[in-house]
Amino acid sequence: MLYKAKLVAGSPLCELGESPVWHPILNEMFWVDITRGIVHRLDIRTRNFRHYDVGSMVGAVVPAVGDYMLIVAAEKGILGLTESGKLDLLVEYPDSEMPNNRFNDGKCDAAGRFWIGSMNKNVVPKAGNLYCFEGKTLQLKQAGVTISNGLTWSPDKRTMYYIDTFEHCVWAYDFELESGKTSNKRVLFEVPKEAGAPDGMTIDSKGRVWIAHWGGAAVRCWNPVNGETEAIVEVPAPHVTSCSFGGPDLDTLYITTAREGLTEKLLSEFPLNGQLFSIRVNANGLVADTFHS
């Protein structure tokens, strides 16, 4: 099935849009501009846009319950963000021996743990890591990744899916929800280079993974059993970074894009680069898991 994403009118222009997530309590869409250190917010009922300035590069946000509205993975560390815009440092950035590293994509599991990856700003191979934050400390879960990116879990929460963009594949792990332990790492399926590099990822209620393709101008819906593409969402921007289901019925796919890394010619040819897109699809997402602050 083929879809064509539409611009969300009035959406801000991001240098490197990423990490869209539908807040299940506030019923609003959040996403970030990594380079500019901005957290964006959209109330789809009123079409009202708001933003929060983090003051440094920000890799991802996840919804939270308790003391904070969101948990933010920023250049200085993991932060708690309140509705009023107050930021609290919860734990310092871990890669102190790699000062040119930053957080990239991340997501919460069903137990409320925040999984967040890092990467080198100059994309040094194997310089990044994957961490898990449970509220006090960051635990190293996997070392030696290059571009830590999309994360999601199967509907039964027994399998974790993970993307290191550099590897052009989706990894699968057996996952123990109670402990957060991963095991039996394996390649779920390879992503052909002509599709574009795999970036951010989400999952639908049928267990299919929807992957944003950097350089591919599309989001593709993949069957995790056979690695076949079941749907394509064309996006009028080459650098598609991530996607998330949102809306009251979680049947609208919200898609972030980037201007970073594009030539002036491509920026002129695709003037909507960096903006937010959406499209209603024949699928429903799962409610985003929240961090318990």
**Any idea where the domains of the chain sit in the sequence?**
2-292
Residue 104 assigned to a binding site: yes
Flag whether pLDDT at 95 surpasses 80: no
**Arithmetic mean of pLDDT over the chain:** 96
Q: For residue 99, what pLDDT is reported?
A: 83
What CATH number does the domain located at 2-292 have? Answer: 2.120.10.30
Confidence of residue 51 (pLDDT cuts 50, 70, 90): very high
Task: Please tell me which residue in 199, 204, 251, 289 is annotated as part of the active site.
Answer: 199
Q: How far apart are CA 264 and CA 259, in angstroms?
A: 10
- Determine the residue type at 39: V
Q: How far apart are CA 63 and CA 25, in angstroms?
A: 8
Flag whether pLDDT at 96 surpasses 90: no
Q: How far apart are CA 204 and CA 202, in angstroms?
A: 7
Q: For residue 23, what pLDDT is reported?
A: 98
Flag whether pLDDT at 83 surpasses 80: yes
Tens digit of each residue's pLDDT (9 = 90 or more) over 7-40: 999 999 999 999 999 999 999 999 999 999 999 9
Q: How many CA atoms lie within 13 A of 175 on its CB side?
A: 23
Q: For residue 196, what pLDDT is reported?
A: 97
251 is catalytic: no
Residue 199 assigned to a binding site: yes
Flag whether pLDDT at 113 surpasses 80: yes
Sequence-distant (6+) residues with CB within 8 A of 14 are 31, 33, 35, 36, 38, 40, 256, 257, 258, 259, 274, 275, 276
Mean pLDDT, to the nearest integer, of 215-244? 97
Confidence of residue 292 (pLDDT cuts 50, 70, 90): confident
* pLDDT cut 90: percent of the chain above it: 94
Contact 62, 31 (CB under 8 A): no
Tens digit of each residue's pLDDT (9 = 90 or more) over 232-271: 999 999 999 999 999 999 999 999 999 998 889 989 899 9
Q: Which H or E run includes 18?
A: strand 17-23
